[in-house]
Structure 1
Amino acid sequence: MTGTEITGVHATPGYAGFFFDDQRAIKQGARQDGFTYEGAPVTDGFEEIRQAGESLVVDVELADGRVVRGDCAAVQYSGAGGRDPLFQPAEYAPVVEGPVADELEGRDATEFLANADALEEMTVEGDRLHTAIRYGVSQALLGAAAEAAGTTKTDVLANALGTEPATEPVPVFGQSGDDRYANAEKMFVKGVPVLPHGLINSVEKIGENGGTLLEYVEWLVERSEELGPEGYEPRFHIDVYGMIGEIFGAPYDREEVIDYFRALEEAAAPYPLQIEGPMDVGDRADQIAAMVELREGLADAGVDVDLVADEWCNTFDDVCAFVDAGAADVVQVKTPDLGGIHRSGQAVRYCEGTDTRAYLGGTCNETATSARACAHVALATDAAQVLAKPGMGFDEGFMIVENEMRRTLARRARAGRTDTTTDELTADD
C-alpha cells in the first residue's frame, strides 16, 4: 500500500450557502412572504417553495492519513429546466459510503482523470449518480490528487485537460441577490469586474414593459462612476430568468423586442452589457432556436448586447449544443449540473476557437469548498469569467473565489510554474 492510495470515502449531510427554490411555483406567481413564499410547491421533492439549502460533505482518506474534502451541492432551482431532482443529502449519503466508496477505494489518488471518469460513468441500480454526488466526490478526488502530487489543484486540472493556466485572476462575476442596489454598490467600491446579476425573476422586477430594468441599468452606470475605483470599466451582466420573453413573447427578432434591447444597450453605455436567460420556452431545442432568432436579430440591427445561455443549458451535451448552434455570446457552465468537476473544465474548453465565451458559473447554493474548487477550474482553463459564490451576500463569495485564485497564482509563481508577478497578489490561506 502506498501513501497515495484511497482508503476511505465518508459522507456527512450539511448545509449549503443559500436555499432551494421551486422555480416553477415562483414563476407561476407564488407571493413572497418576507424571506419565504406562500403557497404549495409544484416541483417534485419540494416540501416548501423555499427550503434550506443542503449539501453532502465528502471526506476522502489516503493511506498516509491525509484527508481531503469535497462538497456535493445542487443549484438553487433544482428540478427545473431539465435538471436532476432536488438533492436530499441524507438520502444519498449511503450511496457515497457504499457503491461510490467501493469503486474508489484502492485506487491511486494521483490518477485524477481516471478516477473522476470512473465516477462519472458509475451507475447504481441502472441509474447514473446524481449530478451533485459526481460534483462533490470529484472535488475530493481533485484535492487528493493535488495533495498526493504536492502541487495545486490548478496544475492537476491543467494536466488533465491539456491547458495552459491563466497567469492572472479570472474576472469575477458578483451576484447581488434581491438586494440589488446595496450589493451593487459594494461591488463598485471593490471594483468587481462583472456585475451585478440582479435576480430579475418576476414581471414586477423587470416592469410590465421592461421599464423597471431600464431604470436599474441607468442607475448602475451612474453609481459605478461615482463609487468605482479610478479607471474602473465594469461589464454589466443581468440575469432576467426568461422575463423578457414573458413580457414580449415570440418572435424574438421582431422590432419591439430589438428596440427594447437597443434601449438596454443605450442605458448601459459606455459599458458592455450581457443579458442572461432572455426567455425560457420549455425545452432545449426550442430554447436554442429562440436564442438564435434573438441573437441574429440583434446582430442584423447592430445592437451590441451579448446573450448568455442559462435555461436548458445544464449538461456537457447541452453546452455543446448551444455553442454549435451559435445560440449565445456567452454560455454559462453551471458547475453542479455538469457532474464531475473535470466536466466543467471540458465544457469551458469546448468554447475555445468559437465565438462563444465560457462563463464558469454555478449557484449561490454551493459551499466555500466547492467555490474554491471551481476557482481552480477557472484558472486552469482561463475562463472568460467566474461566479462569486456561495451565498447572496456578495462579499463572502467574492472573497472566497478571488482569494483562492490569488493564493494559487502566488503559490505557482513561488514554485516557478508561472512568470506571474505577485506584487499585488495577496495570499489568503
Structure 2
Amino acid sequence: MRIKDVLLAPGTGAFFYDDQAAIKAGAIQDGFIYAGEPLTPGFTSIRVAASSLSVGLVLTDDTVVWGDMMGVQYSGAGGRDPLFETAQIWDLTSRVVAPRLLDVDASRYLEACAHVFEPHEHKRLPLAVEYGVSQALLRAVADLHRKTMAEVICAEFDLPLPTRRVPIYCQSGDAREINVDKMILKAVDVLPHGLINSRQKFGVAGHTFMEFVKWVATRTREIGRPGYQPALHFDVYGWIGQEIGLEPSPIADFICNVADTVPDFTLNIECPADFGSTQAQIENYAKIVSILDSRGSSARIVVDERCNTLEEIRLFAEARAAHLIQIKTPDVGSLADTARAVLLCKENKVGAYVGGSCTETDLSAQASVHISVATQADMMLAKPGMGVDEAFSIVGNEQNRLLAMLNRRRAQTKMLDD
C-alpha cells in the first residue's frame, strides 16, 4: 500500500504547556495564568496555549487517515524534548518526513515506522513527530486490513486478542475538589492525580498534601456507590524530596505514613523526588521501592520524570526502580515503542501505565486506547484536557467500542473454527 500525498493541518492541544521550572521556583497563580518570567528555554510566558499539528496520509483509494503531533504539558523538564513549535515541526515534516512517507510500503506497521523514523542528520526525529506519524500509519494499516488498530498491534507483536478491560485513571488539574466529586460519581478506577506541583499545595512537611489524601478517601466513602474502591494516585512532582530531603529512607517513611492514613486503599505516589539525572533516579527509586516492599506497605512508587524514552523505561524496569512506570506516550515517541514499553514492563514484572498529557487531542487519546488494550496495560490515562468529563468519555467510550468489536471478531473466529 502506497501513500499518495501527505497533508498537514495546524491544531490545538486540549490544555496548556507550562514552564515547570518557573512554577517550582514559586511563580504565583493569577487567575488561570502564572505571574512572573519563564525560566525554561522556548517559553515566552509561564503558561502557553498548547498547539498541535495533524498529519494526514492520503491512501490509494483517497481515504485520509490522521495522527496528531504535540508536546507534553511540562515540555523541556526532566529530560524531555523542548517546547513544541508548530512552524518548526511543520518545516521538518514537510522536508524530511513527507518524502519518506511517500516512499514507504504502509501495509506493514513496524517496518513502515522503522523506515520513516530513521535518524536525520545523525539525530533522532523529534518525538512529537514520531508520535503523530505513528498514529497515522497505524490507522492506515488498520484501514487496509479492515481491522482495529488494536488488532494490528496484536498481529505485529504476536499477541492474543485481548479480553480484559484496562482500568482508567483520571487527573483533576487545579479544580481538585469539584473534579474529585466528578470522578467518584462516575466510578473512575484510579483517581485523582491532584496536581501537587507547588510548595503551597504540598505544605510544610507535607501536611497539606496528607490532608488532601485523607479528604479524597473520606469523600469516596461519602458519595461513592457501595463497594466502590478506587486506587488513589497522586502526582507530587518531586515535592517529597524537595521538602524533606533526598535520602531514600525518610522519603519511604513519609510515603508509609501517608499510606497508613488511608489503609483501605491502594496508594500510588508518582514522582516522589527528582534526583537530578536518570541514573540517580534509578538508584534511589530502587532503594525506595525496596524499603516499601520490605515493610509490606500498600504504597506504590510511580516513575515519570527522567523515564521518557523506551531505553530509559527498560533501565527502570530492569532495576525495578518503580512499582509502576508511566509510559508517557508523546515522550516515548512512536506508538510502536509504547507497545514495546508495555511488553518490556510485563517481562520485568513491573506495572505498565500508558499515560500521556492533558495537552493531547482526541485522536491521540483514541490511538493510545488501542495500544493499551492490545498490550493489556495495567492502567491508562483519561486524556486529553483537565476537565475529567471529556477525557473519561473519549477514552472510556473508545475502549468499550473496541472491546465490543473484538468480542465480535472472537465469535466469528470461533464459528469458523467450529
Q: Secondary structure, in 3 states, of the residue corresponding to 2:357?
A: coil
* Structure 2 counterpart of 1:377, from 371, 380, 384: 371
Using the alignment, how far apart are the partners of 1:204 and 1:287 within structure 2?
25
Match of 2:113 in 1: 116
CA distance in 1: counterparts of 2:257 and 2:249, whole angstroms: 15
Is it true that 1:401 corresponds to 2:395 in the alignment? yes
What SS does the aligned partner of 1:118 have? helix
Structure 2 residue 412 is matched with structure 1 residue 415? no
Decide whether the 8 Å contact of 1:240 with 1:277 is kept in 2. Answer: yes
CA contact (8 A) 2:67 2:134 kept: yes
Structure 2 Cα separation of the partners of residues 347 and 357 of structure 1: 11
Distance (Å, rounded) in 2 between the aligned partners of 1:250 and 1:99: 44
Task: Show the counterpart of 1:48.
Answer: 45
Question: Is residue 241 from structure 1 mapped to residue 237 from structure 2 by the alignment?
Answer: yes
Q: Which moved more, 1:399-408 or 1:257-266?
A: 257-266
Shift of 1:367: 0.4
- Report the equivalent of 2:303: 309
Question: How far apart, CA to CA, are the structure 1 residues paired with 2:286 and 2:103?
Answer: 48
How far, CA to CA, are the matches of 1:418 and 1:197 in structure 2? Answer: 40
Equivalent in 384, 395, 407 of residue 390 of structure 1: 384
Q: Deviations over 1:16-69 (max 9, x none)?
A: 011111111111111111111111111111111110101001101101110000
When structure 1 is superposed on structure 2, of 302-311 and 340-349 the one drifting more is 302-311
Counterparts of 1:15 and 1:216 in 2: how far apart (Å)? 32
SS in 1 for 2:410: coil
Partner of 1:84: 81
Match of 1:11 among 2, 8, 11: 8
Q: Which amino acid aligns with 2:102?
A: E
**Aligned counterpart, 2:211:** 215
- Quote the residue 1:27 is aligned against: 24
Cα distance in structure 2, aligned partners of 1:417 and 1:269: 42
What pairs with 1:293-308 in structure 2 (closer than 5 Å)?
293-308=287-302
1:18, 1:53 within 8 Å by CA — same for their partners in 2? Answer: yes
* Structure 2 counterpart of 1:69: 66
Distance 1:10 1:97, change over 3 A: farther
Structure 1 residue 414: Cα displacement: 2.2
Q: Which residues of 2 match residues 319-334 of structure 1 at below 5 A? A: 319-334=313-328
For the aligned residue pairs, the C-alpha RMSD in angstroms reads 1.5
Deviations 1:370-391 (A, max 9, x none): 0000000001100000000000
CA distance in 2, matches of 1:115, 1:259: 48
Q: Per the alignment, in what secondary structure is the counterpart of residue 177 of structure 1?
A: coil
Look up the match of 2:194. 198
TM-superposition CA deviations, 1:174-233 (whole Å, max 9, x none): 000011111011111111001111110111111111111111111111111222223211
Q: Is the 8 A contact 1:6 1:104 kept in 2?
A: yes
Asked whether the 8 Å contact 2:185–2:223 carries over to 1, the reply is yes
Question: Contact (CA 8 Å) 1:13, 1:56: kept in 2 or not?
Answer: yes
CA contact (8 A) 2:246 2:273 kept: no
Tell me the CA shift for residue 294 of structure 1: 1.6
Aligned to 1:183: 179
User: 1:10 touches 1:96 (CA, 8 Å); kept in 2?
Assistant: no
The one-letter code matched in structure 2 to 1:233 is: Q
Q: Report the TM-score, using the length of structure 2 for normalisation.
A: 0.96
1:232 counterpart residue number: 228
Structure 1: segments with no counterpart, 5+ residues: 421-429
Secondary structure of 2:200 counterpart = helix
Residue range with higher mean Cα deviation, 101-110 or 232-241:
101-110
The aligned length equals 414
Letter in 1 for 2:32: F
Counterparts of 2:394 and 2:411 in 1: how far apart (Å)?
23
Equivalent residue for 2:341?
347
> How far apart, CA to CA, are the structure 2 residues paired with 1:417 and 1:281?
51
> Quick one: structure 1 residues 293 and 232, their matched pair in 2 at CA, closer, same or farther if it must change by over 3 Å?
same
Match of 2:95 in 1: 98
One-letter amino acid matched to 1:265: A
- Which range moves more in the overlay, 98-107 or 238-247? 98-107
Greater helix fraction, Structure 1 or Structure 2: 2
**Quick check: 1:237–1:274 contact (8 Å CA) kept in 2?**
yes
Aligned residue in 1 for 2:138 = 142
Give CA deviations for 1:258-306 in whole Å, capped at 9, x if unaligned: 4322221122220100100000121101111221222222233333210
The residue aligned with 2:271 is: 277
| Paired residue secondary structure (1:378) | helix
Q: Which amino acid aligns with 1:100?
A: V
Using the alignment, how far apart are the partners of 1:108 and 1:36 within structure 2?
46
Q: Distance in 2 between matches of 1:250 and 1:113?
A: 41
Aligned to 1:37: 34
SS of residue matched to 1:352? helix
Contact 2:107 2:140 (C-alpha < 8 Å) held by counterparts: yes
Once residues 297 and 412 of structure 2 are traced to their aligned partners in structure 1, the CA distance between those partners, rounded to angstroms, is 39
8 A contact 1:57–1:70 mirrored in 2: yes
CA distance in 1, matches of 2:403, 2:255: 38
Identity %: 43
**What's the CA shift for 1:417?**
6.0
Counterpart amino acid of 1:177? G
Q: Per the alignment, do residues 202 and 16 of structure 1 end up closer, same or farther by CA in structure 2, a change over 3 Å counting?
A: same
Aligned residues of 2:249 and 2:288 also touching (Cα < 8 A)? yes
